[in-house]
């Protein structure tokens, strides 16, 4: 049974979601919800983030830009299990620092390139229970989006398949719709042995075929992540 998990995870990437009777079996524990308090009611502000080092959460910049002066207001809940089985987040952390890129007022899509951030946690998550996900470049094939919804912040996220429509420098134009709360969610690809973070969801789009926009992790943040994982 243990050897079957990688094959079933590949099935997610292929779009065969029916092969997963319980998505929690393959939901990476590094993915979690970002909110501004321990108790979060439907409709309150939430985002999604992912551990890329034991004490670093990658997310969208607009999710935490207002908390830069008061980072401890940011909470990160990770390791979710099936709610219908009485589960929820297995781990919780509070931010100690928010690392932002300089904001941009550039017209068009250029401002999206700056809309990514790192949340530095007060204490690291244990690596054995919450293994961070590595950053990787985009490969051929679809991506998997896993993001929380503002309308149901305590509901286990379901995977969505996203396909790149355009790839302007530093960005991915995707064909998958998103909802409020998906901001900061990782776009993942399966490399045969594990999930890799390719991009961060930052914006919705109303056109077709482009339905959403994601940012490739920029070099300054990748350097910080690399230093934390050496």
Q: What is the CATH number of the domain that holds 189?
A: 2.40.10.120
Gap between the Cα atoms of 6 and 167, Å rounded: 28
- Can you give the residue range of the structural domain that contains 127? 4-229
Q: Which pLDDT score, from 0 to 100, does residue 40 have?
A: 60
Tokens found for residue 11: 């099935």
Over the chain (230 residues), the average pLDDT of each successive run of 10 is 35 36 62 78 81 98 88 90 57 93 76 94 95 95 92 83 94 95 96 93 91 96 92
Tokens found for residue 171: 């960005």
* Tally of structural domains, the chain: 1
Q: Which of 180, 174, 182, 181 is nearest to 205 (CA)?
A: 174
């Amino acid at each position: 049974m243990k050897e079957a998990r990688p094959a079933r995870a590949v099935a997610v990437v292929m779009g065969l979601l029916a092969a997963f009777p319980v998505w929690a079996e393959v939901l990476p524990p590094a993915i979690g919800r970002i909110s501004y308090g321990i108790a979060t009611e439907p409709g309150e502000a939430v985002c999604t983030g992912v551990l890329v080092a034991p004490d670093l959460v990658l997310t969208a910049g607009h999710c935490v830009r207002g908390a830069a002066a008061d980072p401890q207001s940011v909470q990160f809940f990770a390791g979710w299990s099936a709610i219908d089985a009485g589960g929820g987040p297995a781990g919780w952390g509070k931010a100690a620092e928010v690392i932002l890129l300089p904001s941009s007022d550039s017209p068009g899509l250029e401002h999206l390139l700056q809309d990514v951030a790192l949340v530095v946690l007060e204490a690291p998550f244990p690596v054995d229970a919450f293994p961070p996900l590595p950053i990787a470049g985009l490969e051929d094939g679809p991506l998997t989006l896993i993001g929380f919804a503002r309308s149901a912040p305590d509901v286990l996220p379901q995977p969505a398949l996203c396909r790149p429509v355009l790839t302007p420098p530093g960005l991915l134009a995707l064909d998958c719709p998103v909802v409020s709360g998906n901001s900061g969610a990782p776009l993942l690809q399966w490399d045969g042995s594990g999930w890799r973070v390719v991009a961060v969801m930052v914006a919705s789009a109303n056109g077709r075929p482009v339905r959403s926009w994601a940012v490739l992790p920029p070099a300054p943040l990748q350097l910080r992540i690399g230093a934390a994982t050496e």
